[in-house]
Amino acid sequence: MTFSKQTGFTIVEMITVILILVILAITVVPKYLDASEQANDGVRDTLVRDFNSSVRNVRMKWIMDGSPSATSNNNGAQVSLNDDTTVTIDDNYGYPVGSNGRDRVNNLNLADCESVFNDLVEHNLTTARRGQVNNTTYVNFDIVVTRQNSTPDICHYTWSATIDSRPANSAPSEGVGFSYNPQEGTVTAFNFG
């Protein structure tokens, strides 16, 4: 009687290997996804702290400079932070508003919000204003301004990597980022979705 030499794997061995791989996938993938979310939150929290600190520093500098007024109704007051950076503020409140509009808290535009971001945060991040981005454009932050009646305009900065789809001309309903209220000088983190 001759025995043939068996080659390959038995069905039991294959099922065992597949079962082990499934168990590993079930335990590792959620931890990886959670780590990615924590990383997104960490980046956002760091930017919120830096942005908030810069807003406070600009206001303090404005107060230390004697709370200077605007040179005209359509221009905000200027505060020089250093040789390279001059920030435009609403002289009624003392908080940054950007230099591309009427320089008032209730008349911001997307360029103002982008200007505030670039003036206050030392970074190598790219930003884009709503309407200049689509689902194939890569930027670090999408910028949106919201306006409701006579309330101050709010700048919203959403980390682009956390947005699955971009609505045409409104703030994303998903994503990680922060909002800035130039009337109160408040910076608020958000995590939608």
In a domain, 38, yes or no: yes
- Whole-angstrom Cα distance, residue 158 to residue 133? 12
Residue 52 confidence (pLDDT): 92
- Does 2 reside within a domain? no
Give residue 112's domain range.
Answer: 12-57+108-192
Residue 65 counted as domain residue: no
Token readout for 29 is: 């993938």
Residue 188 located in a structural domain: yes
pLDDT at 38: 74
On whether residue 130 sits in a domain, the answer given is: yes
Q: Which of 12-26, 35-49, 73-87 has the highest mean pLDDT?
A: 12-26
Confidence label for 6 from pLDDT (cuts 50, 70 and 90):
low
Question: What pLDDT does 21 receive?
Answer: 87
Per-residue pLDDT tens digits for 122-151: 766 666 665 554 444 456 777 777 776 667
pTM for the model stands at 0.72
Top-confidence residue, 17 or 121:
17
User: Where is pLDDT greater, at 183 or 106?
Assistant: 183
Average pLDDT of the residues in 19-47: 75
> Is 155's pLDDT higher than 60?
yes
Number of domains the chain is built from: 1
Question: What torsion do the CA atoms of 150, 152, 157, 158 make, to the nearest 10 degrees?
Answer: -40
d(Cα 146, Cα 162) in Å, to the nearest integer?
Answer: 20
Average pLDDT, the chain: 77
Residue 155, in any domain of the structure = yes
> Tell me, what's the pLDDT at 139?
60
55 has pLDDT over 90: yes
Within a domain: 16: yes
Token readout for 129 is: 């204003």
138 within some domain: yes
- With a cut of 90, say whether residue 186 has pLDDT above it: yes
By three-state DSSP, how is residue 115 classified? helix
